[in-house]
Chain A
Amino acid sequence: MIEKEESIISEEEAAQYDRQIRLWGLDAQKRLRGSRVLLVGLRGLGAEVAKNLILAGVKGLTLLDHEQVTEESCRAQFLIPVTAQGQNRAQASLERAQYLNPMVEVKADTDRVETKPDKFFLQFEAVCLTGCSRDLMVRVDQLCAQHNIKVFCGDVFGYHGYMFSDLGQEHNYVEEKPKVVKPKTDESNDGPEAKKPKVDPNETTMIKKTASFCSLKVALEVDWTNEKAKSSLKRTPVDYFLLHVLLKFRTDKGRDPHPESFEADATLLRQIRDDVLEAMGLSSELLPHDFVSYCFSEMAPVCAVVGGVLGQEVVKVGCQLPSLSSPIPGLETGTHRQQPPSKHRYPSLHKSCGSCSARGSTTPSLRASDV
């Protein structure tokens, strides 16, 4: 019986996954082992996400990329052999990706993601998009939301990175809180004593929660001319606007800024900045003049950080992990050149993008229709 097969974990898996089973439990590992994930884009960030998901032990990972290997892509990631120039990027990454964990079914698909029909995406539990155009991300996000498929997007532009997650309108999760152990007189559990109450880190209670995620479309289409939105502007990181600029560049040029055409691309980036901010009714000084120097190519350590966070988010969903705290709601942007001396998450962004109500917060949040 198929069910019985899936519920047994082999000795080999137990030995290999030992250190993570001790962290998130055997049941979570089994659930992860049943999930199929699509990963689009095998540049630096894509390779990191692929590694993290394959090591974690998903059932299957499809690598989708239509681009060819160039000299630059060999230097940018660790899955492509140096002799693979001219080959398709997904194909070239396949062998080393498979070596990371022979127990995962890794496949390469060389089609353009734009040409894939809707039903292609429906075979996966989670979809992870890197290096994709804004229009495609919005389309896939809307499509997957209807079918309860989780969508994750991420990119790295030089020193900057962002990730977006959409876990649906009604994402149920469970939050773990340490339990206060009250003394019991008739217990002969772990020891004959323990009369005093203490917080036992091994004993927790689970609290069910629901979070609602806004779509990428809504997150990006905030109307900044509105008074309410303007007041949250101070708390919105500059990177949010940088993302708009870079996504527009990608749509207009069909590629990302390239060091080889630095002068021309820098000029275009500044122009796009002016246009984008003006259309939003905002000052172009919001993005300082030298912003162009830090958003070319993909910085390997930034790929590692974004890939790690993104990878863990996908794993959490695949595991349906009950023992984790809430998923990161919405859109996160960050620059690793100068980190602000505060938390990296930006709650204001959630308020401005609409219906996020994670952690059962009682503060009224703006709804998309209000903005």
Chain B
Amino acid sequence: MVTLQLVGSLRKELADSLSTCRVLVVGAGGIGCELLKNVVLTGFKNIEVIDLDIIDVSNLNRQFLFQKKHVGKSKAQVAKETVLQFCPTANITAYHDSIMNPDYNVEFFRNFMLVMNALDNRVARNHVNRMCLAADIPLIESGTAGYLGQVTVIKKGLTECYECQPKPTQKTFPGCTIRNTPSEPIHCIVWAKYLFNQLFGEEDADQEVSPDTADPELSWNPADTEARATASDQDGDIKRVSTKDWARSTGYDPVKLFNKLFKDDIQYLLTMDKLWKKRKAPLPLDWLEHQKLTCPQGVTGTGLKDQQVLGVAGYCQLFSRSVETLHFMLVDKGDGAEELIWMGNCDDPPAMDFVTAAANLRMYIFSMNMKSRFDIKSMAGNIIPAIATTNAVIAGLIVLEALKILSGDVKQCRTGKFDSRNGELFSKLM
């Protein structure tokens, strides 16, 4: 009879292998915090963790290695410090950096026995996937969103890689929909984000906000459409002067901006009568008229302030205030920096106020029900709802897969899908 030696729950050989190998954890956020904790408690000793982000208050409902006093600090750094408190013997290296930095080359990846992703974006996942294939290191890929989570193992020569299956692409909308004929709130929100960039951020030729005279709907004849487009350039139409330059020339006067965007441009759209034959025509707004209406008084009810929907007059005021604030911020930045950066899922009040106001005014113009700041933030900021428990389960599954890899049991590895609404865990062999 073979004598079995256990170190905790693990057979000695496995425990020894854990304490000598090096592993890389990419990301120290929702999955990352849970994963680091599991990795350390399971017995891994040499861990490197990398994350480019800093801590935000909205992280605290699930990224449990961070406290309120850490807001603003490096996630990787604070995660390391907190973990060392409950496991002082762990050897952790933290990088406040992007994994896509060329310093982390194939040689860097080859140092590790195993790489575990805890990322939230496709670009980084594609990158790590390729590095692990090049270095021939096993990669455990994972992701969570709300109640759902998934874990997969990627090993060159054995499984398909992250990019083998085509992933659904980000939804984009045609320019004419955004500029001329929005039919859903998201079109208005995208327009408002484009407007933010045109006025305060980096101007992008693909993010035009003025009426699109080259709209294919305006004419059945493609040659005709082209003629219109060149004609408009020649007769000094809106497109010739950049939106930012025009705004500067008015001194970012909120009333002038308002009347151009929500009255003049809309009146121009109305002249393109083909567009409105089967659609409800937009209604231009006038600044002075809406000044006469009173704003809603303060916050009513017991909901979140952000979940209130203000009236048109309220959004007129909000538009005006946020333009002034953002202009002030732009000027304050000085001569060199001419841009503000859109940070969707940080709570950057003036930028979010601006997008909320501009999007809602456009929704009103195009006869859509207006949305609260709370809802607009979800859509504009690409915010994914998140809870601790889904991340906890997925991070547990990641380590279980890691143990199989280290035991030489790669063939036992599985793809797992978890739904925390009903505790359902589906898994199948790779």
Contact = CB atoms under 8 A, between A and B. Distances in A.
B233 interface: no
B98 interface: no
B147 interface: yes
Nearest to B391: A308
B378 interface: yes
A299 B62 CA distance: 22
Contacts of B369: 189-190
A79 interface: yes
Given A189-B369, A304-B38, A343-B426, A309 B6 contact: no
A307 B60 CA distance: 19
B8 A297 contact: yes
B57 interface: yes
Contacts of B427: 339, 341, 344
Interface stretch (B47-55, B207-215, B416-424): B416-424
B399 A301 contact: yes
A345 B388 contact: no
A334 B423 CA distance: 12
Interface in A3-23: 7-9, 11, 14-23
Interface in B280-304: 280, 302-304
Contact of B423 (A56, A80, A302, A313): A313
Contact of A309 (B58, B68, B366, B420): B420
Contacts of A301: 38, 42, 395-400, 403
A262 B12 CA distance: 13
Contacts, number: 215
B166 interface: no
B9 interface: yes
Interface stretch (B127-135, B240-248, B256-264, B379-387): B379-387
Interface stretch (A70-78, A138-146, A238-246, A280-288): A70-78
Contact of B424 (A7, A21, A48, A344): A344
A311 interface: yes
Contact of B183 (A192, A297, A344): A192
A17 to B, nearest CB: 5
B183 A52 contact: no
A305 B393 CA distance: 4
A298 interface: yes
A360 to B, nearest CB: 15
Nearest to B396: A304
A78 B367 contact: no
Interface stretch (A58-66, A107-115, A212-220, A324-332): A324-332
Contacts of A252: none
A291 to B, nearest CB: 12
B71 to A, nearest CB: 10
A51 B389 CA distance: 9
A288 to B, nearest CB: 15
B387 A19 contact: yes
A311 B60 CA distance: 17
Contacts of A263: 3
A315 interface: yes
B67 A99 contact: yes
A311 B392 contact: yes
A191 B416 CA distance: 39
Interface string A184-202: 0000111111000000000
Nearest to B149: A308
B372 to A, nearest CB: 12
Contacts of A162: none
Contact of B302 (A7, A19, A100): A7
Contacts of B16: none
A19 B42 contact: no
B146 interface: yes
Nearest to A44: B41
A336 interface: yes
A309 B388 contact: no
Interface string A24-42: 0010000000000000000
A158 interface: yes
A15 B71 CA distance: 12
A325 B421 contact: yes
A41 B398 CA distance: 25
A312 B37 contact: no
B388 A51 contact: yes
Interface string B218-252: 00000000000000000000000000000000000
A159 B9 contact: yes
A338 interface: yes
B347 interface: yes
Given A312-B423, A328-B423, A191 B307 contact: no
A19 B385 contact: yes
Given A20-B385, A77-B41, A309-B393, A262 B6 contact: yes
Given A15-B347, A299-B10, A301-B398, 19 more contacts: A16-B60, A20-B386, A23-B387, A48-B392, A55-B64, A76-B41, A81-B85, A191-B184, A262-B5, A293-B11, A297-B8, A299-B9, A299-B42, A300-B38, A300-B41, A304-B399, A328-B423, A344-B425, A345-B423
Interface of B: 3-11, 34, 37-38, 41-42, 57-58, 60-62, 64, 67-68, 85-88, 146-147, 183-185, 279-280, 302-307, 347, 366-369, 374, 378, 383-393, 395-400, 403, 412, 414, 416, 420-429
Pick the 10 closest A-B CB pairs, nearest first.
Answer: A304-B396, A300-B41, A23-B385, A308-B392, A308-B393, A305-B396, A301-B399, A344-B425, A22-B385, A312-B389
20 contacts: A17-B61, A19-B384, A19-B387, A22-B378, A23-B147, A26-B307, A52-B392, A80-B86, A82-B88, A100-B64, A190-B368, A266-B4, A296-B6, A297-B8, A299-B9, A301-B395, A303-B396, A304-B393, A308-B392, A341-B429
Interface of A: 7-9, 11, 14-23, 26, 44, 48, 51-52, 55-57, 72, 74-82, 96, 99-102, 158-159, 188-193, 259, 262-263, 266, 293-294, 296-305, 307-309, 311-313, 315, 324-328, 332, 334, 336, 338-339, 341, 343-345
